[in-house]
A and B are shown apart, each in its own frame.
Chain A
Amino acid sequence: MDELIKRAKELLEAGTVKVVIGYENGSADKTRALFAIEPKDADKLIFDSRCVMNLATYITKAEVKGKGKMAITATLPVMRAIIQLASEFQVNDSNLLVLGITPESKMIEFKDLAEVEAFVHKYTIEIEAKYSEKLEKLDKMTPSERWSFWIEELSPCFKCYACRAACPMCYCHKCTVEFNQPQWIPVPSHDLGNLEWHMMRAIHLAGRCIDCDACYNACPLGIPLNLLTKRMLIDAKEHFGGYQPSIKADHLMSTYKPDDKDNFIM
């Protein structure tokens, strides 16, 4: 990725951006986020198949944002997240420059976010086959079986919130779980509280999740919590024709159509 390093250096040298966000080698053959501030830091930039973490998580963080204009190494999921965040007024052209990496691992520098959006729209979000199978299996179960499945799966969760930290859409300063007047979600890691936390997270991501699986990858217990968001993704498609992150379009769940289905309403 010499091209990436070269461009990052140029941007930092010229002062066009104050920080370049990308990946570097971490311990145990893993990659971690790199925040290049000095041109020389850019030498550490890498990009390969191990780079799956969603870097968009960082662009809403005050510590990063506060440094000035950012450039970011962005794979397709990262770009999707960026567009969704732009639609929610969290980033804009004045504070973010995108150094895109195509699915073919080629770098493209985008003039602005509108270009990023156009690029993102070339690819639709598709649920991977292995997940479709799992979802289908769950659909075939009786509600009671699904209930037991989820209670069992969610039971070990001790609310470390790694899923929340890894999710680019979870940028709220004060999450609902921290809302204590009233205490919506019970604090102890109890089956009920776990269930409510994950249900709430899923519904908050309805129409917003860009299916990057960062939450699942971050979970130390390997809980398949991305199944919940994938299910919401399928429902959005089935009932409302789906969605694509778009800077200007109205949000799927804050709008409606007069003919939304109501066959379940008496």
Chain B
Amino acid sequence: MSKIGVFVCHCGENISATVDCARVAETSGKLDGVAYSVDYKYMCSDPGQSLIKSAIKEKGLTGVVVAACSPRMHEPTFRKACAEAGLNPYMCEMANLREHVSWVHEKGEATTEKAIDLVRILVEKVKYNQSLNAIKVPVTKTALVIGGGIAGIQASLDIANTGHKVILIEKDPSIGGHMSQLSETFPTLDCSQCILTPRMVEVAQHPNITLYSYAELESVEGFIGNFKVKIRRKSKSIDEKLCTGCGLCTTKCPVKKIPSEFNEGLGMRTAIYVPFPQAVPNKPVIDREHCTYYLKGKCRICEKVCPIQAIRFDQEDTIEEVEIGAIVLATGFSVKQPDFFPEYGYGKYPDVITGLQFERLASASGPTLGEIRRPSDGKVPQNIVFVACAGSRDEAKGIPYCSKICCMYIAKHAMLYQHKVHGGKSYVFYMDIRAGGKNYEEFVRRAIEEDGVNYVRGRVSRIYEKNGKLIVKGVDTLLGAMPVDIEADMVVLATAGVANSDAEALAQKLHVSYDAYKFFAEAHPKLKPVETNTAGIFLAGACQSPRDIPESVSMASGAAVKVACLFSQDELTRDPLIAVVNRMAPPVYSSCVGCFLCVSACPYQAIEKEEIKNRAGEVIKTLARVNPGLCQGCGTCVAFCRTKSIDLQGYTHEQMYTEVMALLNEY
């Protein structure tokens, strides 16, 4: 006979505001098999947990149902509490009264009735729960960091400094990411490259870090502590061991008119190239899409000029297979590209540029050596307009969110412009100034008060060219919505920060969740900001949402600590929620008939054949067997088995059947 305890949480007022918690507890107390029921303000708090623990001990409970928030939030908390009181943790289930009831329905009879139903369903399920023991698995203490921007660099260095091995992969020829493209950084105006390049060099020289530039993730298998990863190392067409990085080849390459990615198309590069002078590794790659030899079969000038014969035209991509214990995703973000703003003429008017392009114009290492000159004719713009929220906070264009970093970099851009172009006039069209951060607001005030940047509150409707000027049709909403037209020489769009175009595919490869905008999803918005829903995979930087440098760096260090925590253990425990093939007394041994159709249904190749032998060693029956190390507990085999011979612990036939029965019996 079951003795089940039901613990109904008010979650402050989050649940009790619309659900009559006392009635839920009272009604549940009358259910068959329920020995104790109570409601309490905060069940997850210390006194709340003590309430559960003492009830388990005093009433000798055999099962526990906590009716509170989502099990995805607190199931581990309450299972741990049960274990501490001596009850097997898998005898505890949660009814989701907050996310699935109180937060989504109005106060009323029907809402409380639903809460009671959910509790009853779980009470019935718990009756069929079984004590289970956690599974132990070993840990491979090497981390994979994907993406070599500032977040990936920081995470790699931090993990490497705890004494663990790191493999850092970067899809471009050099690490550095967007930060290496920036001119100065807010709110201090220190030079981006000056603070970044020492870190890049440290990565290259660190004994614990293996850097694979020009490499991408091919595939991932396995699970926390035990990933098997394939890395595609794209052919650089050079012998990296031989190449000294002298750069002779890049000066002699005849294909010189390729828009430089590093300079955001404002400068050119050659087909064999190093993206920028401070690149790490500082060795060239051949861009096969533009190289004359690969296109036409002739040229090979670089090969002729190379003093140490390091060019390898026939080099092929290689696949590196590595065993990994944890993964940090630090793949960063992109900015929206042309044709997204037809009303602003981006892509049509050369002097309408993006913020990232402005960074290159303002950078001492950029195409204009830091002078603000407009792309069309190289003139110094005397009137410049900065448009905030170009794409961001624009639901109609599919980007309702705030890109967060633009308010600050616009202030920086306007400030840099005023510093560099004396007598120039700058305008910022903005809707709100979001400058929450240490010394951020002060920085914006400085731009307005000391550098004389004209901030106009309103959005720009259209930009068009007239007699060599860019007419910016805006509005000043603080002047009773007065239309404002400005004749500008150059316009800078604070383009929205968006997820990389391959983010979705990468997320699918790794089985991590992503949001509606393809940014990777954290496991909990507050308490698990660097974890993903897939154990052992962590997030750092702007791949999770647009963020600035200090935030990316702190997040990277946070992810690194999570990896270090994981690597501090030699073994991990895993939930035993896995499939099991039933066993029976001889001569049947199992209801499994060995058709093995489950084998192809299993996504993890976790089902094997097991031979039952008699004393003479003859095979008398062949059955399916689930390898507990490989099974991840999806249950695809369970629903497929005709004889119901496989069952899934934690979600057994009896448990699920009972839930459905309980669901409707007293609906």
User: Which residues of A are at the interface with B, using a C-beta cutoff of 8 A?
Assistant: 88-90, 171-176, 179, 181-182, 184, 204, 250-251, 253-255
Contacts of A88 in B (CB 8 A): 595-597
Q: What's the Cα separation between A173 and B623 when bound, in Å?
A: 13
| Contacting residue for B595 out of A89, A175, A182, A184, CB 8 A | A89
The answer to whether A181 and B642 have CB atoms under 8 Å apart is no
The chain A residue sitting closest to B661, CB to CB, is A182
Whole-angstrom CA separation of A171 from B643 in the bound complex: 10
User: Which A residues are CB-close (under 8 A) to B293?
Assistant: none
* B653 interface hit (Cβ, 8 Å): yes
Chain A residues within 8 Å of B595, by CB: 88-90
For A90, A175, A204, A251, the residue with the greatest tally of chain B CB atoms inside 10 Å of its CB is A251
Known interface pairs A89-B596, A251-B600; A182-B642 also in contact (CB < 8 Å): no
Residues of chain A contacted by B601 (CB below 8 angstroms): 254-255
Return chain A residues, CB-CB under 8 Å to B596. 88-89
Q: Which of B168-176, B241-249, B586-594 contacts A (4 or more CB under 8 A)?
A: B586-594
**A254 pairs with B654, CB closer than 8 A:** no
A204 to B639, CA, bound (A): 11
Q: Is the CB of A182 within 8 A of B594?
A: no
**Given A88-B596, A174-B643, A251-B600, 11 additional A-B pairs, CB 8 A:** A90-B595, A172-B591, A174-B591, A179-B643, A179-B653, A181-B654, A182-B657, A184-B657, A250-B600, A251-B597, A254-B640
Are A175 and B643 touching (Cβ within 8 A)?
yes
**By the criterion CB–CB under 8 Å, are B622 and A89 in contact?**
yes
Residue numbers in B under 8 Å from A173 (CB-CB) = 588, 591, 593, 643
Chain A interface main SS type? loop
Q: Find out whether the CB atom of A171 lies under 8 angstroms from the CB atom of B593.
A: yes
In contact, A204 and B597 (Cβ under 8 angstroms): no
Instruction: Name the contact of B653 in the complex, choosing from A171, A174, A181, A251 (C-beta under 8 A).
Output: A181
Can you show 25 pairs from A to B with CB atoms below 8 A apart?
A89-B595, A89-B622, A90-B595, A172-B591, A172-B643, A173-B591, A173-B593, A173-B643, A174-B588, A174-B643, A174-B645, A176-B644, A179-B643, A179-B644, A181-B654, A182-B653, A182-B654, A182-B657, A184-B657, A204-B642, A251-B597, A251-B600, A253-B640, A254-B599, A254-B600
- A182 to B622, alpha carbons, bound, how many Å? 26
Contact of B642 among A89, A172, A250, A255 (CB under 8 A): A172
Complex Cα distance, B642 from A176, in Å, reads 7
Of residues 473 to 523 in B, which have CB atoms within 8 Å of A's CB atoms?
none
Q: In the complex, what distance in Å separates the CA atom of A172 from the CA atom of B594? A: 9
Closest residue of chain A to B655 (Cβ to Cβ) is: A182
Residues of B with C-beta under 8 A to A89 = 594-596, 622
- Complex Cα gap A233–B38 (Å): 55
Of the candidates B591, B599, B640, the one having the most CB atoms from chain A within 10 angstroms of its own CB is B591
In this assembly, does B658 line the interface, its C-beta being within 8 Å of a C-beta of chain A? Answer: yes
Confirm or deny: B598 has a beta carbon within 8 angstroms of a beta carbon on chain A: yes
> What is the distance, in angstroms, from B593's C-beta to the closest C-beta of chain A?
5
Residues of B within 8 A of A253 (CB): 597, 640
Complex Cα spacing A159 to B599, Å: 32
Closest beta carbon of chain A to B381's beta carbon, Å = 51
> Nearest residue in A to B595 (C-beta to C-beta)?
A88
Q: Which residue on chain A has the smallest CB distance to residue B657?
A: A182
Docked complex Cα distance between A204 and B653 (Å): 17
Task: Give A254 to B653 CA distance when docked, in angstroms.
Answer: 20
Q: Which residue of B lies closest to A249 (CB)?
A: B600
Chain B residues whose C-beta falls within 8 Å of the C-beta of A174 in the assembled complex: 588, 591, 643, 645
- In the assembled complex, the CB of A68 is this many whole angstroms from the nearest CB of chain B, namely 13
In the bound complex, residues from chain A placing their C-beta under 8 Å from that of B594 are: 89-90
Chain A residues within 8 Å of B640, by CB: 253-254
A176, A179, A182, A204: the one within 8 Å of B658 (CB): A182
Residues of A within 8 A of B654 (CB): 181-182
Q: Which residues of B contact A179 (CB under 8 A)?
A: 591, 643-644, 653
Residues of chain A within 8 A of B591, CB atoms compared: 172-174, 179
Closest to A62 in B: B587
Complex contact A254–B644 (CB within 8 A):
no
For B645, the closest partner residue in chain A by CB is: A174
Q: Which residues of A contact B598 (CB under 8 A)?
A: 254
Question: With a CB–CB cut-off of 8 A, which chain B residues contact A204?
Answer: 642
Name the distance in Å between A98's Cβ and chain B's nearest Cβ: 20
Q: Shortest distance in angstroms between B644's beta carbon and chain A's nearest beta carbon? A: 5
